[in-house]
Amino acid sequence: MAYKLCHFNDIPEGESKGFTANGLALFAVKKDAELYLYKNECPHLGVNLEFQEDQFLDMDHELIQCSMHGALFNITDGLCISGPCQGDELAAIPWKMDDGYVYLTMV
């Protein structure tokens, strides 16, 4: 079963957006016209990452940031490069695009 999340253009370049699909908390980041989708769960303590709705990025919008203890993650591969869970990764979630819309392919 595929869950429609949003239109690809609903997420501006350099921004992030949170979703809940089938009880699963997720977020997407658009960078350089590519979309990256992750489970909204910090590998440090398993909490949601954002400090405000749809705010998953650091001030420069170059990295994903956990609001709890400040862990920083690459947008492109979810690897934690700084913080208490350095070396761990966010869980990437498979998705597909169909007619401009972003769909979860597995939940």
Q: Give the shortest CB-50-to-ligand FES separation in angstroms.
A: 11
CB 107 within 8 A of CB 3: yes
CB 85 within 8 A of CB 70: no
Nearer to ligand FES by C-beta: 47 or 81?
Answer: 47
User: Across the strands, what pairs with 48?
Assistant: none
Task: Tell me how many residues contact ligand FES (CB under 6 A).
Answer: 11
Nearer to ligand FES by C-beta: 8 or 48?
Answer: 48
- Please give the residues from 5 up to 44 whose contact with ligand FES meets the rule CB under 6 A: 42, 44
- Please give the residues from 42 up to 101 whose contact with ligand FES meets the rule CB under 6 A: 42, 44-45, 47, 66, 68-69, 71, 83-85
71: enclosing H helix or E strand: none
Closest CA relative to residue 15, chosen from 2, 1, 3, 27: 27
d(CA 43, CA 7): 28
Q: Give the shortest CB-65-to-ligand FES separation in angstroms.
A: 9
Q: Which residues bind ligand FES (CB under 6 A)?
A: 42, 44-45, 47, 66, 68-69, 71, 83-85
